[in-house]
Amino acid sequence: MARREYRGIEKKQARWGFAFVIPSMLFFSLFSFYPIINAFYTSFFDKRALSKAPPKFLGLGNYIRLFDPARAASELSFLNSLRATLVFTLGTFIPLLILSLLVAVFISNLGNNKAKKFFQIAYYSPAILSSVVAATIWMIIFDPRGLGNQWVNFLMHTPGIDHKWLVDPVMEQVSTMVIYFWKYIGYFVILFITGLATIPPTLYEAATIDGANKNQTFWRITLPLLKPTVVLVSVMAMLQCLKTFSTQYMLYTNGAPRAPINVITFNIYVTGIQQQYLGRASAMSVVLFVLMLVLTLLQFKTTNSEQTEY
């Protein structure tokens, strides 16, 4: 009897819970789940953007083509895109994680509230700039006659040297990393500042009474207690970097060569939108999805943090 009553309450609660969840589930299924299923399905077909003819079933044909070793030599191949994506992710995500943490600690430790707010806004503002504005700013900097060459040549006393920001393959990759870093560091700084605010000040007071210096406080209190935020930020930053597109698109449309910055998302865009091979582009997006899933799981596993308790 008692068991029946319990189930009744559970049912009632579940019904309400379900009612609250339905709108977001609908939204998710419409804008995320359906495109994922559709891309997965399309990846088995030779589907062209403009063709009205029924797409030809290829089975794993699109996937075999992506990983075909005979195509690996081409700088525009999918395998090169994998390389470009991993280089960009490693080159951006690690500095982004470390420096955003350091900047967040620096801002949190500022005594002056006005200065704190100023730095928070200053670091965050690039994140809300539109891609068009960001493109204009960086093209002014990276133009051979632009500010980039002027500043570097002034600092290094090397007048007249063109540092080929958008021409040299290595410099071009570095340029994309710099732009991305500039655009997103503020976002992660804010996340870290929020994480730092959750650490009870009493712990720092106790540490000060025990004679701990700032360095010890950081390594023994701040960092361990910030671990959940570090995991969150690292996963988010890594996923953001794997999905990078607008920076590479912006450089390409301004004349930079494609091969060094042909990351997977950019290859998907060129293959699906410019070249109209939707099936092939869908296969690429499925591979990217799997890659992101595996790396995220791996990251969760390796940084498996025990619950922080104060």
Partner 1 sequence: MKKMCVLALIAVLLLPTLLFAQGAKETVDENAPVTVQYWTHEDPARTSLETELIAQFMADNPNITVVRTTQSSSKQIELVQTAFAANQGPDMFNLPIENQYAYITNYRVAPVDYKAAGYASKQDLLDKYVDGVLDTVTFEGEVYGLPLELTNWCIYLNKNVFRDAGLDPEKDYPKTWEEMADISEKLAIRDGDILIRRGFDFRYPYYLTFFVPMVEQLGGDLISSDGKQAIVGDDAWIKALTFMQEWGPSGRNLGSPTYKNARKLFDMDNNDMAMAHSGLYQEGRIAEDNPAFFESKEWMVIPFPVFENAVRDVAANYYGHFFMVNADSDPAVQKAAWKLAGFLLSHGVDYLTRGGNLIQPTKALFASDTLKNMPYSDVFINDMARAHMIYYGQNSAEIQTQLRYAVESVMLSGVSPEKALATLRSAVQEIIDEQ
Interface ranges with partner 1 (CB under 8 A) = 7, 10-11, 14, 18, 22, 25-26, 28-30, 33-34, 37-38, 48-52, 74-76, 142-145, 149, 159-162, 164-167, 169, 253-259, 270, 273-276, 278
Residues 43/65, Cβ–Cβ less than 8 Å? no
Name the residue nearer to partner 1 (CB basis): 7 or 220. 7
CB of 273 to partner 1, least distance (A): 5
Name the residue nearer to partner 1 (CB basis): 10 or 205. 10
CB of 183 to partner 1, least distance (A): 21
Cα(first)–Cα(last) distance of the chain, in Å?
A: 42
CB of 250 to partner 1, least distance (A): 12
Name the residue nearer to partner 1 (CB basis): 61 or 228. 61
In angstroms, what CA-CA distances link 214 with 120, 127, 189? Answer: 22, 30, 20
Give the list of residues 6+ apart from residue 249 with CB closer than 8 angstroms, or none.
266, 269
Name the residue nearer to partner 1 (CB basis): 97 or 166. 166
Name the residue nearer to partner 1 (CB basis): 78 or 93. 78
CB of 126 to partner 1, least distance (A): 23
CB of 25 to partner 1, least distance (A): 5
Residues 282/43, Cβ–Cβ less than 8 Å? yes
Instruction: Return the exposure string of 228-243: e unless at least 16 CB atoms fall within 10 Å of the residue's CB, then b.
Output: ebbbebbbbbbbbbbe
Q: How far apart are CA 74 and CA 53, in angstroms?
A: 30
